[in-house]
Structure 1
Amino acid sequence: MHEHRVGDSGERPVRFSVFLNARSLGPEQDRRLMKDLEGHAMRASDGGFQAIFLPDHHFNGYMPMASDSFIFAAYLAAKMPHMYFGFSVVSVPLHHPVRFTERVNLLDQLTDGKLLVGVGSGTTPEEMIGFAVNYKEASQLAERNLEIAEQLWAKRMDDPAVVIDNGPYQGRVLQRITPAPYSPGHARLMPVAMKESSARRAAVNGWPAFIPAFTPPQIFGNEPFTHVKKYFDAYKAMLLETGHDDAVVANALDWSTHTYQCVHVAETDEQARAELEIILRGYQDAIDRENEFNARAESDAANKKSDVNISALDEGWIGTWCLYGSPETVIEHLRPYAELGIGNILCGTTTGPLTEQRLAFADQTVDLLARKVLPAFA
């Protein structure tokens, strides 16, 4: 009997990527976690996943290698030269524009252009204060840092100096950024297509975008596809309006990304749900510990968050952020996203503290996705 594949009707094949978003609970776990994530990434690579995405986070409770995920990506790229590498997402206000452009260019060279640099303004006040950045100023700092980065990428040796004057970031660049980029202009950036300005930046430059499954200030719910369709349709319309050639448009759409913070697959729906709840309890315990430090960071008005969040065990959170079930259920869930035109499904397979049990769940998920889900969308 013919097995239906999404591509059978002419739709674009779907890429699958792994998001290495595990947490360490203490310094004694840091090294083991990094080695376990390396092994998990290699497993995904062997299974047919096309990219590894890394977060950009700092301080309490986050991944040890996320404090400089450019370094970790370069390390993995040397072991998996065929893979794409991405960031979900670089918190632009926490990076001096000179260091940002240098790191992007170097990794662009080391990956032969297989680089997707997600960019955003950050989410956590505790991280901001560690870099002398006010949370309320993060968005404008990010916008200005990206403007400066474009000036730095464009600067030739004999051009006038690029003057940097952006909050905590100061400087004057007389020569040029080295190394030169591998990609024309520079590596592809991936804005979050939530704000009109961010979606337009992606469209005008022919870049892919992250497509959100929620609309702030509520960042949870049970209708994620409604939000994904809204943002994707707006981004795609802008992309088609720009007049890019077909190859640029196709490449941008091929990497347009819908993210699941937690993906868990088992042989049956019942097994997947029971194991998902174990995973989410561990994740929520870690979040509760982090919230103590976040509360200290939010003690002044400049660092108060406006987003409304809830427990990861709430059905609204699960509905927005989780993908779980048997392979057949996961395929049925993803089919509307594939038919919409989403090019890349980013799978958070290591969400939460990476205990021995959690790693086993993560490997189980990658193996089942590789054997039973990816072929349905090839």
Structure 2
Amino acid sequence: MRFSVFLNARAMRPEDDRKLIKDLETHALKARDAGFEAIFMPDHHFNGYMPIASDSFIFAGYLAAKMPEMYFGFSVVSVPLHHPVRFVERINILDQLTDGKLLVGVGSGTTPEEMIGFGVNYAESKDVSERNLDLAEQLWAKTMDDPAIEIANGPHQGRVLQRIAPVAYTKGHAPLMSVAMKEASTRRAGENGWPAFIPAFTPPKIGGTEPFKHVEKYFTAYKDVLTSSGHDQSTIDRALGWSTHTYQCVHVAETDEQAREELEVILRSYQDAIEREAEFNARAESDDANKKTDRTPDALSEDWIGTWCLYGSPETVIEHLKPYQELGIGNILCGTTTGPLTDERLRLGNQTLDLISRKVMPGLEG
């Protein structure tokens, strides 16, 4: 079982942005030294979200130069917000810079506020996403002599005459990791031999206290497609080895009591940030084309904690993860900097890196 770090920290004031960027760089280097195998980044925009996430491709390229042995991933790229040409070009450049150690999570986006900033209606985001992915595949396959590719997809327009440069390092292109929730996304990942994100809930409820039953359902469906699609064993092993279950907040302490107490401090600050952002989300949802149909539970509720958090002493965390390891989940993605990144929050995140490295990883070997 692999462990990866998710750099999902927020800044609450413009004057904190630079410090957050430098602190996350240091945290990523600590994760490398602690034995984590990949650094994943979000793709978010506006609203005091996450300063590195406004162009996490750039940040990934910067970190890749400092940590050439690491894998880099995105959880996830909001496909409707990216022109398909720029989407393909950036992925190819990072694929080259990382020598193929790139995992590109893809999704249709999260908030109407982000959509309207790029001229996309939230109600149309899934269709724009699917068409962008189809266009990306055409662009990856295009040679110099092929006919022009016409792009007419919502705000994304264009006509591509030549090939995309640079060419991908990986045969075809870097793997696109979808969330294995719907049949189409599960089939895309499995049939292409790509890893997938394995969710712990089933909409319309985005949370709950029985995450494993959902993980088992989605992982089994994904694995069935992957293993029945005619791939060689090395492709199957690589895909399963990077099949990813994500915890938005991971916190480990010496005792369960300490971990729960510190977790609640982290989540209270995180929820405060979410509530501050709610006003802007409400403005974005002022018309029917940008209404969200699902709602995430309060971060301090047991439903949110049960689905999105991993916490406790090292012994408790090991026992929690053993069923996931036995199921075959290859990668645990750990949100170790969730919420506003104060000095205290960073200390707690580094504490988690240390305890996972020294106690949890060894406890899951063999």
Aligned to 2:153: 166
- Tell me the amino acid that sits aligned with residue 40 of structure 1: H
Q: Which residue identity does 1:282 align to in structure 2?
A: S
In the superposition, the TM-score normalised over structure 2's length comes to 0.99
Residue 325 of structure 1 aligns with which residue?
Answer: 312
- Structure 2 residues without counterparts, runs of 5 or longer: none
Larger RCO: 1 or 2 (CA < 8 Å, sep 6+): 1
Alignment match, 1:156:
143
* Aligned pair partner of 2:14 in 18, 27, 43: 27
**Partner Cα separation in structure 2 for residue 167 and residue 377 of structure 1:** 47
For residues 44-66 of structure 1, give each alpha carbon's deviation from its aligned partner in whole angstroms, at most 9, with x where no partner exists. Answer: 00000000000000001211110
Matches within 5 A, 1:81-160: 81-160=68-147
Q: Deviations over 1:220-260 (max 9, x none)?
A: 10000010001000000011110101110110000000000
How do 1:205-354 and structure 2 match up within 5 A? 205-354=192-341
Shift of residue 104 of structure 1?
0.2
Aligned to 1:3: none
Deviation at 1:376, TM superposition (A): 2.3
Cα-to-partner distance string for 1:8-29 (whole Å, 9 max, x where unaligned): xxxxxx0000000000111100
Over 2 Å off, 4+ runs: none
Aligned-partner Cα distance in 1 for 2:15–2:32:
28
Letter in 2 for 1:107: L
Deviation at 1:347, TM superposition (A): 0.2
Q: In structure 2, what is the Cα distance between the partners aligned to 1:108 and 1:55?
A: 17
Quick one: which amino acid aligns to residue 86 of structure 1?
G
Structure 1 residue 375: deviation in Å?
A: 1.7
One-letter amino acid of the counterpart of residue 361, structure 1: L
Query: Which letter does structure 1 place at the counterpart of 2:85?
Result: V
| Residue 64 (str. 1) matches residue 54 (str. 2) | no
Report how far residue 312 of structure 1 moved.
0.3
- In structure 2, what residue type is equivalent to 1:95? H
CA RMSD of superposed structures (Å): 0.6
- In the superposition, the TM-score normalised over structure 1's length comes to 0.96
Aligned to 1:80: 67
Unaligned runs of 5+ in 1: 1-13
Q: In structure 1, what is the Cα distance between the partners aligned to 2:57 and 2:110?
A: 19
Give the drift of 1:319: 0.3
Tell me how far 1:30 sits from its aligned partner.
Answer: 0.2
TM-fit CA distance, 1:377: 2.6
